[in-house]
Amino acid sequence: MAGLDEARPFIPVGIAVLTVSDTRTPADDRSGDTLVARIADAGHRLVERAIVPDEKLAIAAQVRGWTERADIDVIITTGGTGFTGRDVTPEALEPIFEKRMDGFSEVFHRISYDKIGTSTIQSRATAGVANATFIFALPGSPGACKDAWDGILKSQLDYRHMPCNFVEIMPRLDEHLKRGGAK
């Protein structure tokens, strides 16, 4: 059964938060603020926070740069996952992924469905791994950020969460590179 093994230590991870928006500023980025507060409350380290416009090249460049940093284990983006012409976060990130995490989207939609019903289909939330860094693309609403953090990320980013979690596999994400399997 899922739960916390209190005998295991909590291991904080380094997290970067990227808001994708043409209109948000640091003063009114409520979704970014929601994530930053939850990261701190959980005991993790906010390593960096940024806002980029809804442009594929800007999103991809910021995320690629963060995946090169040893102090960033996880990147969480918020915004740009809808269907409007400016929503391009999945198109920017999915080509970067070495491995997709299809289950993230499925679980996110299940949680979201319980709160907003069929409107959840208007989100293209996605996740994957690139350069031994977990990347999660969330919708741009504070509610969606709360749902994703509270319902998925909080437990999966906690080493004490059983039967398994992302933290315990972080050291193994780049095994293919250590074995000489790099492209």
Average pLDDT over residues 56-79: 98
| 35 within 8 A of 17, measured Cβ to Cβ | yes
Give the tokens for residue 124.
Answer: 């293209």
Average pLDDT rounded to a whole number, residues 42-49: 98
For the ranges 66-80, 137-151, 167-181, the lowest mean pLDDT is seen at 167-181
Is residue 179 scored above 70 in pLDDT? no
The fraction of the chain above a pLDDT of 90, given in percent, is 93
Confirm if 121 and 113 have CB atoms less than 8 A apart: no
Per-residue model confidence (pLDDT) at position 177: 64
Q: Where in the chain are the domains?
A: 11-171
Specify the CATH superfamily of domain 11-171. MoaB/Mog-like domain (3.40.980.10)
Q: Tell me the per-residue pLDDT of 124-157, one tens digit each, with 9 for 90 and over.
A: 999 999 999 999 999 999 999 999 999 999 999 9
Is-contact 111 138, C-beta < 8 A?
Answer: no
Q: For residues 106 and 102, what is the distance between their CA atoms, to the nearest angstrom?
A: 7
Q: Are 90 and 137 in contact (CB under 8 A)?
A: yes
Report the alpha-carbon distance of residue 66 to residue 125 in Å, rounded.
20
Residue 163: its pLDDT value, please? 96
Could you tell me if 66 and 46 are in contact, meaning their C-beta atoms sit under 8 angstroms apart? no
